[in-house]
Amino acid sequence: MWALLFLALVLSGCATSSAPRDATRDSNQDDPYRKSVQELASLDRQADDFFRAGKGDDAAAVIQKAQPLMKQVLSVPHPTLEAAEAASDLDDLYGRMLLSNHHYGWAQMLFQKNLSRWKHWEPQSDETARRLKQAQDEIAECSRRMEQ
């Protein structure tokens, strides 16, 4: 189940958007964009609650539902910090789920996405540094478990 969900997520990330972009307007300032970011954050919390309650299948379903929304909020020329955080939270949760199911390589790939996201985020802040450190620690945990 987890591997199939991961494959679907990877393949959905390869698709290109058919919606034309208006270069003269920063679409991340639109009210619909902000609502999409808020909805993604809400789905993150819902999936995390399911995972913490031991309901992995329910969490996976919410993660799958959130994927198109994550792609949408990150597809603008300059995603907001809130959008990056919501996307990061979703990737982190899915990585932790994979880690708990002993899919260390797949989990490490998701944590690596977060490492790259926060290593290159401008401007850096205490929160982006915390998220970068978290990704580094999770990657190290994957490596440690793969070596066992």
Asked if residue 23 has pLDDT above 50, the reply is no
Residue-level pLDDT at 16: 38
pLDDT above 50 for 25: no
Above 80 in pLDDT, residue 9?
no
Structural domain count of the chain: 1
pLDDT at 101 over 90: yes
51: in domain: yes
**Do 98 and 2 form a contact (C-beta atoms < 8 A)?**
yes
CATH number of domain containing 97: 1.25.40
CA distance 59 to 57: 5
89 is in which domain, residue-wise? 31-147
pTM of the model: 0.80
